[in-house]
Structure 1
Amino acid sequence: MKKILTLSLVVCSYILMSCNNIKEEPATTEAGVSQAGQSGVQDDLSQRNVVQVAVGSEDHTTLVKAVQAAELVNALSNAGPFTVFAPTNAAFDNLPAGTVEGLLAPEEKDDLADILQYHVSLGVFKAENLTDGQIIGQVNGGNITITRKDGKTMVNGTATIVASVPASNGMIHVIDGVLLPK
């Protein structure tokens, strides 16, 4: 009995030491970009989340680059729910020359994150439920104001909601302007 107990302890010790040598490597994309966290989860069956919807839109390549540069991909890939006011590439093109390039610089990451978080609300706000004068708190701590006039829904009086797309973790409102926090 004593020999069996000793042998069992030796085997268990060996197994435990072997487990300490296992290293979990984060998944990588075909381009070699590391995907750790929620954004690295592969699921081809479920509805796409807000990040996956944006990545699949040729009208949101600038927004996707900005979300990646600000390191917000994992946060926006989580369960949420989120409402994202997603400016189109044309909306970013309307900013003064050099603005986008400047914000994508590593030293501007905090400012970029603040601007992007001003485009995100916690909760799902469907277009049909947005009301004139409604104030919605944003992730960065600021507020946006919804106005409705002549059948159009606007955000802060400067960006019009041109489409709404549901996602597994919230709602995306495509807007024709970039929202800038005060």
Structure 2
Amino acid sequence: MKYFQKIFRFALTLSLLIAFSDVHAQSILEKLKSNSQTSQFAQALENTGVDNRINQAGPFTVFAPTNAAFDKLSVGQKSDSNLLLNHILTGMATERSLRAMSDITCLSGKTISVQNKNSTNLTIESNRISVSNIKTSNGVIHIIDGVIK
């Protein structure tokens, strides 16, 4: 009997720890801001008010351009909310699920292409995914090496 009580206590403690860690998971915007590769994209989301859309429960999938790619845009493009919405879609699209897709519709209404060129290279509108499946409390982030225009 004591053996089962110990197992029960262990399982309860483990489930509470898991639940507690999920409560403190970072949101999409928090992850983007804290990542040195995507901080400029996060700033643009805040400046345009697009952050209000992705601060909701979600889930959302974000294709975040690197700072190097985002730097190439003009000031006007960086403040174009439709251009920023080209990088966001409703739902959780992990790398694995993206490999089964060919076209997806973003929050801007634009349909973008997904190319699975081989077993290792996955591109979104010809932009290579450099880091995939960054989990957040309200979705997933994939870092891409370009901007979806």
Q: TM-score range by the shorter chain?
A: 0.7 to 0.9
TM-score by length of 1: 0.64
Task: Tell me, in whole angstroms, the C-alpha distance in 2 between the residues paired with 1:126 and 1:51.
Answer: 18
**2:6 alignment counterpart:** none
**1:139 alignment counterpart:** 107
Q: How many percent of aligned residue pairs carry the same amino acid? A: 31
**1:102 alignment counterpart:** 76
**1:159 alignment counterpart:** 127
Residue number among 28, 44, 60 corresponding to 1:50 in the alignment: 28
Q: How many aligned residue pairs are there?
A: 126
| Structure 1 residue 74 displacement after superposition | 2.1
Rg comparison, structure with higher value: 1
Judged with a 3 Å threshold, the aligned counterparts in structure 2 of structure 1 residues 67 and 124 are, in CA distance, closer, same or farther, namely: same
Higher relative contact order at CA 8 Å, sep ≥6: structure 1 or structure 2? Answer: 2
Where structure 2 has 5 or more consecutive residues not aligned to the other structure, the ranges are 1-21
Please tell me whether residue 171 in structure 1 is matched to residue 132 in structure 2: no
| Structure 1 residue 133 displacement after superposition | 5.5
Secondary structure of 2:37 counterpart: helix
Q: What per-residue deviation string (whole Å, max 9, x for no partner) do you get for residues 47-105 of structure 1?
A: 1110010011111121022101111222211101100000010111344xxx1x2335x
| Structure 1 residue 46 displacement after superposition | 1.7
**2:63 alignment counterpart:** 85
Question: Is contact 1:147–1:153 with CA below 8 Å preserved after alignment?
Answer: yes
Secondary structure of 2:104 counterpart: strand
Question: Is contact 2:105–2:111 with CA below 8 Å preserved after alignment?
Answer: yes
TM-score by length of 2: 0.78
* RMSD of aligned alpha carbons: 1.8
